[in-house]
Structure 1
Amino acid sequence: MIETDWLSIKQQVFEKCDIVLNTKVEELQTDVVQLRLGIANDSKSSMGDKYETSREMMQQEINRLEQQISINKQQLFMLKSSKTVQQSSHITKGSLVETSIGNFLIAASFGELKLKEFSCFVISEAAPIAQLLMGKSNNEQIEINKKQVNILNVY
């Protein structure tokens, strides 16, 4: 594949991650609003303990959702701070790396991303495999679980 194709794919991966993460944040925020409305509209019944338990369970769910929102916003920040379309000879934050075991974008902890016929793992620079890849360049090797992995290209 020619270099411009890879750079286009890299841009598409960043855009897809951004869309998915923003959508998750919006959905989670909607869920929080609905739960808060539920708490506000929940009227106290003659069984006071049941009412308090219900409110507490809803509040715990709100706290869990707000934590997920925070995590997703942090991933968005990491993604945006990694976004670069410049090609580098060495693997750095923001690099798209083609290896003998698959493709990796070092940006944020997102997981596997598929675009039509292209697939890659979007990983944070703190991920163990990213730590092994950082600073390496084309035609170098790393070892993962006693298996040699070839670095084919860096974009």
Structure 2
Amino acid sequence: MLLKPQILSQYKSIVQEKIETLQKMISDLAIDAQNDAKGSAGDKHETALAMMHLEQEKLTQKLKEVLEQKAVLDKIDITQIHNLVALGSLVIANETYFFVSAALPKISKESKDVFALSPHSPLGLKLMGNKVGAEFQMNTTKYIIQSIE
């Protein structure tokens, strides 16, 4: 099973797409603000500019979060063999695939759902440092680690 390179590649693509979308939205807002500033005056204009500025701050914060996700993905060495769950591990537990990386949306690879999770998430903390055969409980589900890639 060599799914990990494909999974990492797909997550990197998703994150890069998010970065590009957010950068375009921020740029478009800046252009709109410049164009609006040229032809308007008064309270409505000031309110509109303030709203655009708030939206730009929100988008900038979201971009910062996505860039942090990219940094985590960039740290992952897919050639590294993991005997214990660590950053970059692809863990199969109860036939469920977990990619220990960053909190990202579920994807499908070879008809398998893959859940990307942060090592600092509640489930990530339960997985970290465990080996094949380890058991842990999350909510009402008891998991057994079947493999680590």
Aligned ranges 1:13-92 → 2 under 5 Å: 13-42=7-36, 43-45=39-41, 48-92=42-86
* Structure 1 stretches of at least 4 aligned residues deviating more than 6 Å after TM superposition: none
How large is the RMSD of aligned CA atoms in angstroms? 1.3
Q: Aligned partners of 1:128 and 1:71: how far apart in 2?
A: 19
CA offsets 1:55-102 (integer angstroms, 9 cap, x no match):
110111111111111100000001111333322221111110000051
Letter in 1 for 2:105: G
Of residues 134, 138, 142, the one that matches 2:132 is 138
- Asked if residue 120 in structure 1 is aligned to residue 111 in structure 2, the reply is no
Please report the TM-score for the alignment, with normalisation by the length of structure 2: 0.92
- 1:10 aligned partner: 4
Q: Which amino acid in 1 is paired with 2:65?
A: I
Counting aligned pairs with the same residue, the percent is 24
- In the alignment, structure 2 segments of 5+ residues that lack a partner are none
Query: 2:116 aligns to what SS in structure 1?
Result: strand
Amino acid at match of 1:151: I
Contact persistence 1:39–1:58 (CA under 8 A): yes
Number of residue pairs matched? Answer: 147
Report SS of the residue matched to 2:23.
helix
Q: 1:111 offset after TM fit, Å?
A: 2.9
